[in-house]
Structure 1
Amino acid sequence: MSRPTVYLAITNHGFGHAVRSAAIANEIQKRCPDVLLILVTTAPRWLLESYLEGDFIIRPRGFDVGVVQSDSLTMDLVATQEKWQHIRQQQRSIIAGEVNFIKQNQVNLILADIPPLASLIAQAAGIPCWMMSNFGWDFIYRDWGEEFTELADWISGCFNQCDRLFRFPLHEPMTAFPHQIDVGLTGGDPRFNLDDLREKLGIITPPEKTILLTFGGLGLNAIPFDNFSQYSDYTFITFDVNLPPFPNLIQVSNSLQLPDLHSHLFRLRPVDLMPLCGRVISKPGYSTFAEALRLDIPLVSLTREGFAEAPILLDWLQNYADHQIITASDFLDKDWDFLHQPLQQPRLSERLDKNGNEAIAQAVVDYLLNCV
């Protein structure tokens, strides 16, 4: 009898989609240890391994573009359009190749976050396609005007073929999806002893004077690093190893591994460091927002122009988190006076559901058990 097999198609954009997909895949594996996980992504293996505790297969394929960017805020719309044209020209051969792979590996289910082609691949392979996200690429592109209307319409048509959408919080309406199930926040859980972590990294400041700077896999060019010396009573933590050294700046290498509570070696991730911090400074992005919200860590977010998801995320942030919202120029061009300002309280008193990983994983496991 073949193993239950899930093919996880992950959008080709930054690290956020890979992170949240890997967190859900890890929960699927915990609940069904026999499952074979095939992660279809261009994300680096080390990133996936930092979330997945068990074995998995990587199939290095990219079925969509997301947005072509030089850093976490700078977008190239022309290059984005050109890359999409290339993918759509290759659409038939892409689908044929994936259908052949899926049948050879007896895949039971496609779980996608959130390449549009996944639904067409699933249809051609004769298996269901479930998707999960807080936004669709049609929503992003439609905001860019007439030049992207035809592409957005095509993507909406692909999404309309999806059998089920797990809609995360921090979402746009996602009206292209006919069958929606709302779930809670997703993301990783901290896995290290905080006292050991504080000692290992040499953090002596209290949480309210400890700040994590995290801007996704692309980083953020032109951080005004002279500000670190102006706030010498603070500790700043970053995964950007290209910044010049400062006594109060901790630069965490992606290769740094530490033993967790079970003595397994794992790479440090932003979510592992969040509990040490009184604030997380970030760009608008679901994965960082969701992981901080799951841990009740205050968020300081830059604004982001020209990306339709950003105001949606910031609106949810204001509703559910202790927060500050600053412009990019406040962060890049000024002396960070916002650190002296009090945090804003959430507008709403209710809390968001934090069990998205578990809800999606259980639905997948229930389906797989009915397949074998």
Structure 2
Amino acid sequence: MPLERLYCAVTPHGLGHGAIACQVINALARRRPGLDVTIQGDLPADWLASRLEVPFRLIPQGSDFGMIMDSATRVRVAASAAAYRHQAADWRRILVAEARRIRAVAPDLVLGCIPAQSLAAAQALGVPAVGLGPFHWADILDAYCGDEPGMDSLIALMREIYAGCDAFFAPQPALPMADLPNLVPVGPVCRRGRPRGPELRAALGIAHEDRLAVVAFGGMASGIDVWSWPEQPGWIYAVPRGPETPRRLPPHMVAVGDDKGCPLPDLIASADAVITKPGYGTLTEAALVGTPVLCQERPDWPETEGLLAWTARHVPLEMVSLEALGPGRVGRLLRRLMRQDAPWPRPEPPDGAEQIAEALVARYGG
């Protein structure tokens, strides 16, 4: 049976999982013109529209939340454990609700990036299901809450669900996930930006001689008062527009969004530096185009070590504390970052989204 109808369930834990899913959907749609796409997850519809090349229906509901966060880098461990315990007690009702949503769409395939609940419902319905992500939530939950009461059985269930998928595609760099017999490593999955320096600078009103630093924390509040950063001669900060954006911006800052024709991957490819956290999307986007990275420390996140090691092989990378990103210090950190002058080999890995799309068409029919 041809693959005609796709149901993609996405964890709304920031925007990184959605960014990965969109790349795979686009690659698959190029091979299956007319592909019917439903996305399930509490993600901004306008953001999805800016990333997807095909029409889609959005179901802004779901049971998955990833981890409960105080900021882009701070996990609320006790609150996360409590929320997962509640889900474990309510698991049957959750699966019924997820199955109802999937059954209403009648998809040929469920792609889970990476809600265990949706994948479990698909498996119960007998709908082909594949997982997608550089990690899965069982590993993250185990790292933060594995010692909390009642977590062992839920973590084991989640591992069983991920292992029960037809395949689990792991865009590199990824956690080892050695517990998955169905693991399929692929190249990085991210939107590779186009360098459009002069065009974007003109659109944003940035002088040619000024350097541009893009501030990107993966769709979550950073916990950093970016707007209090003082002016640094020769630097302009580009910050994604959000609820905290002031009505009047300091002269050394610009608020960016797709309404100005400035998609974040193109901004990263056109910038002199990126200021971010350890997160898959922004770091891979920066490394693949050679943009130096000033990165907030995040030592407790399981993905951090491998992700930073991979990034540091390809671009200048400076790790700094949350306190170091306070007012008056960022300019010095950027100057230090720009002084790194070692040769940086540009990575040329295979495109993971294309690899996944080829595999899906081969397995489920073209």
Normalising by structure 2, report the TM-score.
0.88
Q: Could you tell me whether the CA contact under 8 Å between 1:162 and 1:177 is conserved in 2?
A: no
Q: Distance in 1 between matches of 2:34 and 2:185?
A: 27
* Aligned-pair CA distance for 1:133: 1.0
CA, structure 1 residues 2+357, in 2 after alignment: closer, same or farther (shift >3 Å)? Answer: closer
* Aligned-pair CA distance for 1:253: 4.4
Map of 2:138 onto structure 1: 138
- Determine if the alignment matches structure 1 residue 69 to structure 2 residue 69: yes
Identity %: 24
CA, structure 1 residues 167+348, in 2 after alignment: closer, same or farther (shift >3 Å)? Answer: farther
* Aligned-pair CA distance for 1:257: 4.3
* Aligned-pair CA distance for 1:356: 1.0
Map of 2:121 onto structure 1: 121
* Equivalent position SS for 2:187: coil
Q: Distance in 2 between matches of 1:326 and 1:173?
A: 26
- Structure 1, residues 10-65: CA drift from partner, whole Å, max 9, x if none? 11311111111112212222221221111111111111111012211112222322
* Aligned-pair CA distance for 1:102: 3.2
For residue 273 of structure 1, what is the amino acid of its counterpart? Answer: L
Map of 1:233 onto structure 2: 234
CA, structure 1 residues 315+3, in 2 after alignment: closer, same or farther (shift >3 Å)? Answer: closer
Unmatched runs of 5 consecutive residues or more in structure 1: 259-267
User: For the aligned residues, what is the CA RMSD?
Assistant: 2.6
Map of 1:195 onto structure 2: 198
Q: Distance in 1 between matches of 2:272 and 2:107?
A: 44
Q: Could you tell me whether the CA contact under 8 Å between 1:118 and 1:129 is conserved in 2?
A: no
- Structure 1, residues 279-305: CA drift from partner, whole Å, max 9, x if none? 111001001112222222222211114
* Aligned-pair CA distance for 1:129: 1.4
- Counterparts of residues 82-231 of structure 1 (less than 5 Å): 82-144=82-144, 145-147=146-148, 148-190=151-193, 194-206=197-209, 209-223=211-225, 225-229=227-231, 231=232
Q: Could you tell me whether the CA contact under 8 Å between 1:300 and 1:326 is conserved in 2?
A: yes
For residue 166 of structure 1, what is the amino acid of its counterpart? Answer: F
- Counterparts of residues 45-64 of structure 1 (less than 5 Å): 45-64=45-64
* Aligned-pair CA distance for 1:73: 2.0
- Determine if the alignment matches structure 1 residue 326 to structure 2 residue 320: yes
Q: Could you tell me whether the CA contact under 8 Å between 1:164 and 1:179 is conserved in 2?
A: yes
Paired residues, what number?
358
Out of 346, 349, 359, the residue aligned to residue 363 of structure 1 is 359
Q: Could you tell me whether the CA contact under 8 Å between 2:109 and 2:129 is conserved in 1?
A: yes
Map of 2:273 onto structure 1: 279
- Structure 1, residues 302-347: CA drift from partner, whole Å, max 9, x if none? 1114322222322222233332222222213661222121455789
Map of 1:248 onto structure 2: 252
* Equivalent position SS for 1:143: helix
* Aligned-pair CA distance for 1:174: 0.8
* Structure 1 runs, 4 residues or longer, greater than 6 Å off: 345-348
CA, structure 1 residues 352+149, in 2 after alignment: closer, same or farther (shift >3 Å)? Answer: farther
Map of 1:42 onto structure 2: 42
Q: Distance in 1 between matches of 2:203 and 2:357?
A: 34
- Structure 1, residues 177-230: CA drift from partner, whole Å, max 9, x if none? 1112211111224479543322111121457x211011121121332544331x
Map of 1:23 onto structure 2: 23
* Aligned-pair CA distance for 1:350: 7.7
Q: Could you tell me whether the CA contact under 8 Å between 1:3 and 1:36 is conserved in 2?
A: no
Q: Could you tell me whether the CA contact under 8 Å between 1:28 and 1:361 is conserved in 2?
A: yes
